[in-house]
């Protein structure tokens, strides 16, 4: 019999707030954290808006640790600490090898990369920072999280662009289902609000100059954001045995690839991932109450995702509550799926569907119920979270109440 995997702690940080509760309260209120970026030098860029964390909370890390990590790793640790506190778990010799971590990241340590470029190319330095490699490697966040808590079970980074967090969470579910771990700390993190990354995205001509309006006919593109989301996953038996408070269950995962184009998505790939997720969870389409859409705010992506939802859910697509919380926390790349996981768990807990903010005009090609601007109270027993990425890598998660 397959092991059930439940969530006993969550943590988050992004432009909306520095903990999961604050993030959720802002989501429910439909408040967007998108605005002028002030903490990074974005000179000469046409687009200078993003969803930015203006002030970091107290994290308790010593300087000797901080000098070894980039911002994306620090954000992961901050979110992980919150998730661990809520879970009530203590790591010791009896469980250290049964407790692992998987952390998704999209663009990894670009803050450190740019600091080195400035030092070497502009300021005439003759060597890079000694910790450059461990700062920028994609697996750094997972390694730093494992060191912070003494986790000696399965620990690795996951990178698949904008699907990274969902793939990391799916990988953590697999470790528990396969019996390699009893507990996994998992999620995603990214800090892309740096000049080089923003300049690269600007070249793709998909950035909005003002704000993110998913599914609205006048949408102009996506908006970059930074942040991290982390969750403590346990086997159901492990959680019950220790008397843990269970926040929800990861009922299923669905993974597929478009195998088509490096940037242009297909309808078939996302449709397949949603179908696989429903099957893995044992859900019929009509069992799903809420779908947190990938919803980037670009013309093509929102239309294609709408078409894929219709094909995966049939007539029930029009009864689903759908929303894109990227309209509020921006597209945080490797962190997006983890922040959207928080939205799904809290929607189930509170019976509230967070809105798609900044919505202004209906689009006949995006004609589902996208919960425009105002949160909606309704029973949410189950929720799906979509993540579709460049490279055609798709990952969908299913959550349910316990």
User: Which phi and psi angles does 372 have, rounded to 5°?
Assistant: -65, 120
Respond yes or no: is residue 162 known to be catalytic. Answer: yes
The packing angle between helices 71-87 and 140-149, to 10°, is: 40
Q: CB within 8 A of 175, min separation 6: which ones?
A: 100, 102, 153, 154, 181, 184
User: Per the residue annotation, which of 162, 212, 277, 344 is the catalytic one?
Assistant: 162
The packing angle between helices 336-350 and 20-29, to 10°, is: 70
Respond yes or no: is residue 238 known to be catalytic. Answer: no
Q: How far apart are CA 9 and CA 391, in angstroms?
A: 31
- The residues that bridge with 383 in the sheet, in sequence order, are 290, 399
User: Per the residue annotation, which of 108, 238, 277, 294 is the catalytic one?
Assistant: 294
User: Which phi and psi angles does 136 have, rounded to 5°?
Assistant: -95, -15
Residues 185 and 100 sit within 8 Å (Cβ to Cβ): yes
Q: How far apart are CA 164 and CA 178, in angstroms?
A: 21
User: Which phi and psi angles does 250 have, rounded to 5°?
Assistant: -85, 105
Q: How far apart are CA 379 and CA 386, in angstroms?
A: 20
User: Per the residue annotation, which of 14, 108, 331, 366 is the catalytic one?
Assistant: 331
Respond yes or no: is residue 167 known to be catalytic. Answer: no
Residues 176 and 184 sit within 8 Å (Cβ to Cβ): yes
Residues 169 and 341 sit within 8 Å (Cβ to Cβ): yes
Residues 49 and 64 sit within 8 Å (Cβ to Cβ): no
Q: Which ranges of 119-235 does DSSP label H, i.e. alpha helix? A: 132-136, 140-149, 164-177, 195-203
For residue 77, give both structure tokens.
């640790």
Q: Are strands 99-105 and 155-158 parallel, antiparallel or unpaired?
A: parallel
- The residues that bridge with 187 in the sheet, in sequence order, are 103, 230
Positive or negative torsion for Cα 340, 344, 349, 350: positive
**Residues classed as catalytic:** 162, 294, 331
């Amino acid at each position: 019999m397959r092991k059930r995997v439940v969530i006993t702690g969550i943590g988050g940080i992004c432009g909306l707030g520095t903990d999961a509760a604050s993030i959720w309260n802002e989501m429910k209120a439909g408040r967007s954290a998108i605005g002028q970026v002030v903490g990074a030098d974005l000179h000469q860029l046409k687009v200078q808006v993003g969803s930015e964390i203006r002030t970091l909370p107290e994290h308790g890390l010593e300087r000797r640790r901080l000098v070894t990590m980039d911002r994306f790793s620090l954000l992961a640790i901050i979110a992980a600490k919150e998730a661990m506190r809520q879970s009530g778990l203590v790591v010791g010799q009896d469980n250290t090898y049964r407790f692992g971590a998987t952390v998704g990241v999209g663009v990894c340590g670009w803050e450190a990369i740019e600091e080195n470029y400035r030092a070497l190319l502009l300021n005439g330095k003759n060597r890079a920072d000694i910790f450059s490699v461990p700062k920028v490697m994609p697996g750094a966040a997972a390694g730093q999280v494992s060191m912070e808590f003494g986790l000696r079970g399965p620990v690795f980074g996951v990178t698949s662009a904008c699907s990274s967090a969902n793939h990391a969470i799916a990988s953590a579910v697999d470790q528990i289902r396969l019996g390699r771990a009893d507990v996994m700390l998992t999620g995603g993190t990214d800090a892309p609000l740096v000049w080089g990354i923003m300049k690269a995205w600007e070249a793709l001509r998909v950035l909005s100059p003002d704000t993110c309006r998913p599914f609205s006919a006048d949408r102009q593109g996506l908006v970059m954001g930074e942040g991290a989301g982390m969750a403590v996953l346990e086997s159901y038996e492990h959680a019950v045995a220790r008397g843990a408070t269970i926040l929800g269950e990861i009922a299923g995962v669905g993974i597929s690839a478009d195998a088509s184009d490096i940037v242009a998505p297909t309808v078939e790939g996302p449709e397949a991932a949603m179908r696989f997720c429903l099957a893995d969870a044992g859900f019929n389409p009509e069992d799903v109450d809420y779908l947190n859409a990938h919803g980037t705010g670009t013309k093509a992506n929102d239309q294609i995702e709408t078409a894929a939802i219709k094909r995966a859910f049939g007539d029930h697509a029009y009864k689903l509550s759908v929303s894109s919380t990227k309209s509020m926390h921006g597209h945080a790349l490797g962190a997006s799926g983890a922040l959207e996981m928080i939205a799904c768990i809290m929607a189930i807990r509170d019976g509230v569907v967070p809105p798609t903010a900044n919505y202004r005009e209906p689009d006949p090609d995006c004609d589902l119920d996208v919960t425009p601007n105002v949160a909606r109270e309704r029973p949410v027993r189950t929720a799906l979270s979509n993540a579709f990425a460049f490279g055609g890598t798709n990952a969908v998660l299913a959550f349910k109440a316990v």
